[in-house]
Chains A and B, each alone.
Chain A
Amino acid sequence: MPDARFRPFETHLDEDRALAVLREAVAGADDGELFLERRRSEVLAFDDGRLKTASYDAGEGFGLRAVSGEVSGYAHSTEISEASLRRAAGTARLAAEANGGAAGEVAAAPEGTNRRLYTDADPLEGPEFSSRIA
């Protein structure tokens, strides 16, 4: 089976160029980040033992944020592309500008972690879930 993981920096964006756009967006701000997400969900509902509804939903997108003091600029889109990222950066930048554009102290990065608190196995994969319908 092919690797079906969400890997936006292999399939949608060049990481170096995305980082450059992010840095432009947060220039003069204290903090910010690019948040990329894919979510897929499946729901099966049974009435008295019979399958009544089955639904599947999938979506992906990004949110780009720049934070300056109490102000934050946020833009998001379902289209994960460099062009879309650039448009979002234009909006997110407004936060730093609205706050006077004075370069504050850039917030320290969060600490790293190698912890695993749960499996990374996809509960939608594998035969068990679909076999429930049979």
Chain B
Amino acid sequence: MVQVTCSLAASMQEVEILRPEGRRVRDDRPMVRMNVSVIVEKAGRRESGSAGGGGRETVDRVMDPAYGRALVDEALRMALVNLEAEDAPAGVMDVALGPGWPGILLHEAVGHGLEGDFNRKKTSAFAGLMGKRVAATGVTVIDDGTIMDRRGSITVDDEGTPSARNVLIEDGILVGFMQDRQNARLMGVPATGNGRRQSYAHPPLPRMTNTIMLGGTAEPGEIVEGVEDGIHAVQFGGGQVDITNGKFVFSCTEAYRVKNGKVLHPVKGATLIGDGATALKQVKKVGSDMKLDPGMGMCGKAGQWVPVGVGQPSLLIGGLTVGGASTG
């Protein structure tokens, strides 16, 4: 082990909203996050691993030594896996996604396209598709700002609207967008409690809270077994999306090569490339193991950053483009 770095961040945001009709709304929003990064070296090769977590809470839970130890163990495990990793394959193939944080792909590739402003202006790949099939049967996506203590939760949004559990896609059918007050009014629908801002210096925009794909019926084991020739992506680093066409690029920080349902070896440098609308229709299996992420997401839009949560079960998606260095 070469280096271990750890950070502990705590903050308190206190908000008062005064509305023209005279109502005053207050929200006190604590936030805690702990992060651990580990760098390991073996025979001149260096690899890293990281883990983090937190939520809207006091520091008590993350200050428990067992919590920090679990993060170090997880970061170290990931770093050691990466020491053994081979170059990732390249091409169009099946991808099994692990539960939890990989939901960030859903957030980027699908969530942003379901924000009201992009749909009112018809710049989203989902504009005009309300009531239509946009995902495979069994795919249900919600945005839920009401989950206790979660990083993306808000009692009220930054316009004073109570947060809600909003169903966006129900069994594959597009049923709702996320709205702030202005876009809701212009589209003739109710505000959904998604009007958020980075700070007093920023006007509110439709933003996600905790964006989640609900669990399905497949046993988690059959998801990876369902991969004939592809990869199992367990953890993600950063990603980007172009909202106008839903095209995304994600880099995997922990992934494995899978052939005929058998996990072969870890791979490094794998990126996933695709577009949200197509990927949703290529979901072949939805696991029963829905998991929320440990609480570490930040989402940027129009230069404004807000804390968010994601969640998803294990998923089997067919025909994603994997970018890797291996030509074999």
Q: Which residues of A contact B (CB under 8 A)?
A: 5-6, 8-9, 15, 18-19, 22-23, 26, 30-49, 52, 59-63, 65, 67, 69-70, 72, 74, 76, 106-107, 109-113, 115-124, 126, 128-129, 132
Q: Which of B148, B159, B191 makes the CB contact (< 8 A) with A33?
A: B159
* Interface residue SS majority, chain A: mixed
| Number of residues on chain B facing chain A (CB within 8 A) | 61
- The residues of B that contact A129 with a CB separation of less than 8 Å are 8, 10, 59, 63
- The residues of A that contact B199 with a CB separation of less than 8 Å are 37, 39, 59, 61
Interface segment among B149-157, B237-245, B266-274, B279-287: the answer is B149-157
Are B29's CB and A113's CB within 8 A?
Answer: no
Are A19's CB and B3's CB within 8 A?
Answer: no
Per the bound structure, the CA–CA distance linking A47 and B3 in Å amounts to: 7
Are B182's CB and A67's CB within 8 A?
Answer: yes
Per the bound structure, the CA–CA distance linking A118 and B31 in Å amounts to: 10
Are A18's CB and B18's CB within 8 A?
Answer: yes
Whose C-beta in chain A lies nearest to the C-beta of B2?
Answer: A48
Are B149's CB and A117's CB within 8 A?
Answer: yes
30 inter-chain pairs at a CB distance below 8 angstroms, sorted by A residue, are A6-B16, A8-B16, A15-B24, A33-B160, A35-B16, A35-B17, A35-B200, A36-B200, A37-B14, A41-B9, A43-B7, A47-B4, A48-B4, A63-B200, A63-B203, A67-B181, A67-B182, A69-B186, A70-B182, A109-B23, A110-B156, A110-B160, A110-B191, A115-B162, A117-B155, A121-B30, A122-B12, A123-B58, A124-B11, A129-B10
Within the complex, what minimum Cβ distance (angstroms) separates B304 from chain A?
Answer: 12
- The residues of A that contact B9 with a CB separation of less than 8 Å are 41-44
Given known A15-B24, A119-B58, contact A44–B200 (CB-CB < 8 A)? no
Q: Which of A6, A30, A112, A118 makes the CB contact (< 8 A) with B30?
A: A118
Are B8's CB and A62's CB within 8 A?
Answer: no
Are B156's CB and A113's CB within 8 A?
Answer: yes
Whose C-beta in chain A lies nearest to the C-beta of B185?
Answer: A107
Interface flags for B157-187 (1: CB within 8 Å of A; 0: not) read: 0111111000000000000000001100110
- The residues of A that contact B153 with a CB separation of less than 8 Å are 117-118
Are A9's CB and B24's CB within 8 A?
Answer: yes
Per the bound structure, the CA–CA distance linking A32 and B15 in Å amounts to: 16
Interface flags for B124-165 (1: CB within 8 Å of A; 0: not) read: 000000000000000000000011110001111011111100
Are B11's CB and A41's CB within 8 A?
Answer: yes
Are A123's CB and B57's CB within 8 A?
Answer: yes
- The residues of B that contact A117 with a CB separation of less than 8 Å are 56, 146-149, 153-155, 163
Q: Which residues of B contact A (CB under 8 A)?
A: 3-25, 28-32, 55-60, 63, 146-149, 153-156, 158-163, 181-182, 185-186, 191, 197, 199-204
Per the bound structure, the CA–CA distance linking A117 and B201 in Å amounts to: 25
- The residues of A that contact B4 with a CB separation of less than 8 Å are 47-49
Per the bound structure, the CA–CA distance linking A115 and B161 in Å amounts to: 12
Are A120's CB and B185's CB within 8 A?
Answer: no
Per the bound structure, the CA–CA distance linking A43 and B191 in Å amounts to: 35
- The residues of B that contact A63 with a CB separation of less than 8 Å are 197, 200-203
Within the complex, what minimum Cβ distance (angstroms) separates A132 from chain B?
Answer: 7
Q: Which of B5, B28, B148, B158 makes the CB contact (< 8 A) with A46?
A: B5
Are A72's CB and B203's CB within 8 A?
Answer: yes
Given known A63-B197, A118-B153, A126-B58, contact A38–B11 (CB-CB < 8 A)? no
Per the bound structure, the CA–CA distance linking A6 and B17 in Å amounts to: 12
Within the complex, what minimum Cβ distance (angstroms) separates B290 from chain A?
Answer: 20
Per the bound structure, the CA–CA distance linking A9 and B197 in Å amounts to: 21
- The residues of A that contact B20 with a CB separation of less than 8 Å are 19, 22-23, 26, 31-33, 106
Per the bound structure, the CA–CA distance linking A46 and B6 in Å amounts to: 5
Per the bound structure, the CA–CA distance linking A106 and B20 in Å amounts to: 10
- The residues of A that contact B147 with a CB separation of less than 8 Å are 117
Within the complex, what minimum Cβ distance (angstroms) separates B294 from chain A?
Answer: 16
- The residues of B that contact A44 with a CB separation of less than 8 Å are 7-9
